[in-house]
Amino acid sequence: MRVEMSKTKRTLCLVALMLTNLAVMNDLVVIPVISNLYGEFADHMGLVNYIVSGPALIIVLTSLLASFLCKKLDKKVVLIIGGIFFTVGLILGVMMVNPYYMAFMRTLVGIGAGIEQVVAVSMIADVYEDENERAKATGYYNATMSFVGIAYSYLAGVLANSGVWKNAFMCYWAAIPMLIFLFLFVPSVKPDKNVQETGDGSKESLGSRFWVLEISWFIANLLFGATVLYYVAVYVSENLLGDVAFTGMATSVKQIVGFILCLFFGGIYKVLKRNTITVSYFIAAVTLVFMVVSPSRFSAVVIATICGCCYKVVFSYMYAHGFSLVPASRIDDSVGITTAVYGIGTFCSTYFATWLMGVMHTDRATETWMVAAVLFAVLGVVEVFLTISERKNVQK
């Protein structure tokens, strides 16, 4: 549904939507203290896995629910409901240092984060109809995601290094101003009553190309999550490269560069278009190989940053390009599905990492990154063949 707004109101709306990244990037506060969580709850490894990546599983369900709710309710109302769940789950998250309590509160976080991400990205499509303008706005949205990650990672590392790891969760108080902005600047977007249907009354098809891209997106989330997204702290620890503060700094550097990259994503997408995701997969493969072969502080900061930025590009591509693959009547559904796939892949990533360690008979996650590198290369090759096939079809 197209939303007509003045330039000033549109800008304020985009700022409010960008602040929802406080929900989307909540994991960045947890990453610097993952080792502390495993040490604190050594007898509850399964629960720790859930505390770390469980919200991603909840995002799967709530993202699909959010897509449904957007067809029934005002999107602003849905967005605020998600913000309330998120804020309560985070601010009260460590009121008790108990694995069961923390797992429950992280569930509330997942509910809020799933709703926020789907509705915010969907509203960008409502406010920015032109594909290039939408790509720019998506880039800005993801740049804010990186900026929030910078602040979260750095502050969490510093606060946790004070001697009390749960102090890292103080970062989450920023959710309160986010709620205020949502109330004040997000416009009302009622359900579109003019949804097109096919002749037999069913919805328009999303298309096979969309589903192929979603499979690739699932695998990418699985691989990125099992390496540079969740396991930088483990990489640093396994290779004796530094402490929690160094991990926080390394993660912050990754987010800073990612922030700059996302600001220019509109230009990158305009030039590379279909090849954006292909290039990202090949770069991710090469960087992971380098990190395994030559572990060092340089690798943990510079090479991990390059690999992490590939995820930023793929993430932006999925939402900016994904809209162009589906009918206008299915945009909300495509956002919900893309976010759900993101949640499934991210949730499974920690379990995939530990499973792979078992298969390879190693107690070090670093060695498993070579497998991830090979799989990234495979994804890149598949995209090359798909691009060639699509060009041939166009020529016909």
b/e burial code for range 268-277 (CB count within 10 A of at least 16 → b): bbeeeeeebb
| Alpha helices (H) along the chain | 7-19, 21-24, 27-30, 34-40, 45-70, 75-91, 99-127, 131-160, 175-185, 208-224, 232-238, 244-263, 265-272, 276-293, 297-298, 304-322, 331-359, 369-395
Model confidence at 1: pLDDT above 60: no
Distance CA 20, CA 181 (A): 10
Share of the chain above pLDDT 90, in %: 14
pLDDT score of 2: 59
Contact 192, 1 (CB under 8 A): yes
Q: What is the pLDDT of residues 296-336, one digit of tens each?
A: 899 888 888 888 889 988 988 887 777 777 777 777 788 88
Q: What is the pLDDT of residues 249-263, one digit of tens each?
A: 887 788 778 778 888
pTM of the model: 0.73
Distance CA 209, CA 339 (A): 17
Q: What is the pLDDT of residues 196-219, one digit of tens each?
A: 454 555 577 787 888 888 999 999
Confidence of residue 393 (pLDDT cuts 50, 70, 90): low
Which residue would you say has higher pLDDT here, 348 or 131?
348
Distance CA 359, CA 340 (A): 28
Mean pLDDT for the stretch of residues 363-375: 91
Model confidence at 138: pLDDT above 90: no
Model confidence at 53: pLDDT above 80: no
Query: For the chain, what is the mean pLDDT?
Result: 83
Task: Quote the DSSP letter at residue 64.
Answer: H
Model confidence at 359: pLDDT above 70: yes
Contact 152, 28 (CB under 8 A): yes
Q: Which domains does the chain have, with CATH numbers?
A: 12-187+205-395 (1.20.1250.20)
Confidence of residue 265 (pLDDT cuts 50, 70, 90): confident
pLDDT score of 221: 92
